[in-house]
Structure 1
Amino acid sequence: MLFWKRKRRDEVPDDLDSEAEVDGRVSLIHRKSSVRRWKFLVGFFTAMVVFLGLGYGVFSYTSTPSFCASCHEMAPQHVTFQSSAHNQIQCVQCHIEPGKKNALKHKLDEAKMILSHIKGDTKRIFAKRPVLSKNCEQCHSRNRLVTATGDIIANHKGHIEKEIPCMTCHSGVVHAKVAERGISDLATSSAWTRENADKLMGEKNEKPNMGTCIDCHNQVNQGKEPWKDIAYILPDNRGESNEGNAGESGYERTPEMKAGVLERTLPENVQKTILEAIGQQKTDVKLSMQCFTCHQKISTPKNHEKPDWKQGHGGTAAKELDKCLNCHKDSLWVKKLEKQDIRNLLAESPKKQAYRLDTLTAAKESRNNYFCSLCHAERPDDHLDRHKWLFDAHRRNSGSPEERRSCFVCHDNEKPEPGLQAPAPSDVYCEFCHKGDFQGEPF
């Protein structure tokens, strides 16, 4: 203040005659200077309040589900979120590790995502990091003693003590594994509406996948801890390209659509897991693969314990295959979910289709199911003596089309073509010997 006064005195014009005039002039200059300073301070603090208010508003809004929904490529994630049991909490409560530092870091990542959206680089949304258990524990207690629904025996305490992340089992609880199932491409984002949510989500995709339990338990029996690898928890993110022309449904054809409804190739280790789960890991292991290990109500049916069940179960399968597939279905036993065609999901009827009871239907279904075809590729006991089977039993048991139907569960009539959607488990086919004898059979 004294410095400013001194400066103002120096600026007083020399033509002022009296000391009173000088003091009056200085006083006037001082008052004007004070007013200017106050205006500056008021303006500065007002601007700061506005800036901080806008910053807080932007920070808050960009943490809401509404902001996430503003990008059309987020439609699958937002619709599944709205239809889930977690629709009353904010996205950031799950997807950001607790703490102010992590929140600020996320905003920087979010800015990159917005830039990517503006540039049009985003084709498909998928998780690059899993939701942490500490996020779940903001709402859910670690002392979980009972299973909320169903007959599953869930030993939460044992899993928590082993530090197994929640997402190892519960990865579909909000978003129904849409990325892993291949139905979250940008090309099909317009299909994601609340009206279509039930068809596209499916309750089974929200619940823990039995295939994950089996795969993990199988590895534990081998002394491994697969959950420590982050890749084990994150979904498989293949099929990111969305190139293609619009189909009849109005959606561009994704790679899964081009390839067909399902990808049928399973790696050898998956086949091995299924076979081990069927009968090899019941005793002398850490985690038995028997039904009662994880299920309260489901147990092995009585007829499965009959000595001739392996050889004679075909008759039961032809009559009750829909019941068989409640347990013996690839998607239940394999961790990795098959890719799906969104058009087929939308076209499915909510009513359960009536099952056609015949051998040919059982043959078709079993060919598409590795759980069945892995065993059907092996010779049955009565086929082991090749000479006796070919020239005795085989000839007597295949004289009519009705009798031959059971043969087509494992064999094709004609030489199978490469890439056939449902090839026979066995590479032995009828026309290798019987040229043109069974035309039009089996399907």
Structure 2
Amino acid sequence: MAFWGKKKNKDIDPETREDKKKPGLFRRLWQKFRKIDWKDPVTRWKALFVALIGSIVIFGGGYGVISFTNSPSFCKSCHEMAPEYTTFTASAHSEISCVQCHIKPGFVNMMTHKVISLKEVYHHVMGIPEQIVQTEHEAVSDQNCLQCHSKNRLVTASKDLIVNHKGHIEEGVPCISCHSGVAHAKIAARGINTEEVRSHWTEDVAQQMMEQKYLAPNMGTCIDCHDKVNNGEKPWKDVAYLVPPNPEHLEEAAKRETKETTSEVKHDAATEEEEAEAVASHDDKTQALILEAVGKQTKDVKLSMECETCHQRVKVPQSHRVANWGGDHGGTALQELDQCVDCHQDSKWFREIPKEDLMSQLKMAEVKEEDKEHKYTANINVVREQSRINKFCSACHGERPESHVESDVWLTAHADKAQTPEMKAECFVCHDREEPKADSTDVKAPTDVYCQYCHRTGFKDEVKN
């Protein structure tokens, strides 16, 4: 006999001999709730006490969860955030929480961000993205910055640059358009927070990558924006101008461009021509801006490009104010080139940041540490190359010097200026001795005039076999 088929007597109604159905949990609770005597003051106090404890548990627990998810330690728990977290701890903002920058003030904004951030949890579980970048639809808000910083500052902390912060903000220029690297040193734009290098991000690595040129706005940041304003644009209106581009979107755009190209030959030819035109246009624009900056070329513009318009401390040195400095500074450049390029370095004028390789950057950091012990020694070849590739130098070296007077006069009188090897070395800064070859890898001279064009039979100082 199967004993499990038996039914207990207490489950059967003795009169009808039918099974009694036991009420469910919620029904029993409801029945007990209806039986409560709410007129009893003790019962009301008990209910109030239970409600109070429940509220504390619910809201306290919720607040605890929100506080924990707002903490940098929570962000640190996902290893894909290692580059962002380590650079944050090495920055001047390490004493505040991540959300103080990345979430607008207010409870509603906080909860909205929590809901939107669920997609980050999804990405973490389903597959870590190759590179984490700030969303293209939202940049760090001025409201976050102004919680700590005053907009009434008229100069930078170094007291060098005159920057009317209030005027910029009232014009609609976001803080992030200039200060995008203050917490993470622009690692997304530099492309060094990718999946394959995340395991290398330690506190020491972050310290090495937090270079001042990435923390503070470079000259290119100011100049690019000011130049666009002078052309009637307001580039900060486009959020893509403020945050680094999403690498996935760039890849999709590249694929679309490839698909739209029907003729490979035509595509290659067009690319070469367009590339040459783009380089020439960029060089011309850079030179024009440099000439404006040094005061050699003026334009009726809304924002002046001259250095002394914004810089208070970085002024033209007294050594540069002597008569004929433009023609006689070669000797100083030879002896103090390392000091010259502190200011006269056109790479500082580019807003765009080239992509980098983290491992290569770490090796270069080691080399830089070693180079600190070695001082620059005068080298005419180094000066010659720098004068040709540096836009600051070539902006003037491409023009005929005043010392060369008229061509017919200079042609017969310049021999006295090139009597010794040292004097000739100064000539070779701009001029080549021999006709440059078309396939030459040497840096192109700023002039097409070379010595052997006239001296076809050689020079007196040449040793004849």
Matched, 1:300 2:316: yes
Q: Which amino acid aligns with 1:293?
A: T
Matches within 5 A, 1:217-236: 217-235=226-244
2:262 corresponding residue in structure 1: none
User: Which residue does 1:187 correspond to in 2?
Assistant: 196
Cα separation, 2, equivalents of 1:355 and 1:38? 92
**What is the deviation of 1:159?**
1.7
CA contact (8 A) 2:104 2:144 kept: yes
Query: 61, 65, 68: which one pairs with 2:72?
Result: 65
Change in CA separation of 1:16 and 1:289 when aligned onto 2, cut-off 3 Å = closer
Tell me the residue number matched to 2:387. Answer: 366
Pairing of 1:10-89 with structure 2 (within 5 A): 13=13, 15=15, 59-89=66-96
CA contact (8 A) 1:374 1:425 kept: no
Paired residue for 1:345? 365
Deviates more, 1:136-145 or 1:198-207: 136-145
SS at match of 2:190: coil
Distance in 2, Cα, partners of 1:238 & 1:109:
21
1:92 is the counterpart of 2:112:
no
Partner of 1:441: none
Backbone CA RMSD of aligned residues: 4.6
- C-alpha deviation, 1:89, in angstroms: 1.8
Partner of 1:406: helix, strand, or coil? helix
Q: Residues of 2 paired with 1:194 and 1:273: CA distance?
A: 39
Could you give the per-residue CA deviations for residues 397-423 of structure 1, whole angstroms, max 9, x where no partner exists? 556654443344335667467695955
1:16, distance to aligned residue in structure 2 (A): 7.0
**Aligned equivalents of 1:420 and 1:118: distance in 2?**
51
- Write out aligned runs for 1:164-313 (5 A): 164-235=173-244, 266=282, 268-279=284-295, 285-306=301-322, 308-313=324-329
Query: Residue 368 of structure 1: CA displacement?
Result: 4.3
Cα distance, 1:363 vs structure 2? 2.2
Q: Distance in 2 between matches of 1:295 and 1:36?
A: 76
Question: Structure 1-normalised TM-score?
Answer: 0.70
Deviation at 1:324, TM superposition (A): 1.5
1:126 equivalent in structure 2: 133
Letter matched to residue 129 of structure 2: T
Residue type at the aligned position of 1:172: G
- Report the counterpart of residue 254 of structure 2 in structure 1: none
188 and 294 in structure 1: CA distance in 2 versus 1, 3 angstrom threshold:
same
Q: 1:221 & 1:307 partners in 2: Cα distance?
A: 33
AA in 2 matched with 1:98:
P
Contact 2:72 2:97 (C-alpha < 8 Å) held by counterparts: yes
Alpha-carbon separation, structure 2, partners of 1:38 and 1:56 = 34
**Paired residue for 2:338, among 322, 342, 364?**
322
CA distance in 2, matches of 1:105, 1:374: 53
Instruction: Give the partner amino acid of 1:371.
Output: F
Structure 1 unaligned residues grouped into runs of 5+: 1-10, 18-24, 242-263, 439-443
* Counterpart-to-counterpart distance in 1, 2:327 and 2:445: 18
Partner of 2:144: 135
**C-alpha distance in structure 1 between counterparts of 2:164 and 2:217, whole Å:** 13
The CA deviation string for residues 60-81 of structure 1, in whole angstroms up to 9 with x for no partner, is 4443323333444433222111
Could you tell me how far apart the structure 1 residues matched to 2:57 and 2:425 are? Answer: 79
Counterpart code for 2:346: D
**Aligned 8 A contact 2:220 2:351 in 1:** yes
What corresponds to 1:254 in structure 2?
none
1:104 shift after superposition:
4.3
Cα distance in 1 for residues equivalent to 2:127 and 2:439: 39
Return the offset for 1:183: 3.2
Percentage of identical aligned residues: 45
Please say if residues 186 and 215 of structure 2, whose CA atoms lie closer than 8 Å, have aligned partners that are also in contact. Answer: yes
Q: Deviations over 1:105-151 (max 9, x none)?
A: 43454333344445546222233332111111222233335543342
Q: Give the Å deviation of 1:36.
A: 6.2
Contact 1:211 1:334 in 2 (8 A): yes
Matching residue of 1:334:
350
Normalised TM-score (structure 2): 0.68
User: Which range moved further: 301-310 or 170-179?
Assistant: 301-310
Give 1:362-441 correspondences, 5 Å limit.
362-381=383-402, 392=412, 401-411=421-431, 415=436, 420=441, 423-426=444-447
- Deviation string 1:330-354 (CA, Å, 9 cap, x unpaired) is 2333322344451313442073641
Asked if 2 retains the 8 angstrom alpha-carbon contact of 1:416 and 1:423, the reply is no
AA of the residue aligned to 1:68: C
Distance 1:303 1:38, change over 3 A: farther
8 Å Cα contact 1:331-1:338 kept in structure 2: no
Alpha-carbon distance in 1 for matches of 2:116, 2:24 = 50
Counterpart AA for 1:357? A
Change in 2 beyond 3 A, CA 1:86/1:385: same
CA distance 1:64–1:231, change in 2 (3 Å): same
Q: In structure 2, what residue type is equivalent to 1:365?
A: Q
Residue type of the alignment partner of 1:348: K
Structure 2 gaps of 5+ residues are: 1-10, 34-50, 252-278, 460-465
SS of aligned partner of 1:161 = helix
SS of the residue corresponding to residue 184 of structure 1 reads coil
Q: Distance in 1 between matches of 2:124 and 2:451?
A: 57
Answer yes or no: is the 8 Å Cα contact 2:289–2:305 preserved in 1. Answer: no
More helix by share: 2
Separation (CA, whole Å) in 1 of partners of 2:185 and 2:392: 24
| Alignment partners' CA distance in 2, 1:387 and 1:125 | 64
1:355 aligns with 2:380: no
Residue 355 of structure 1: CA displacement? 1.4
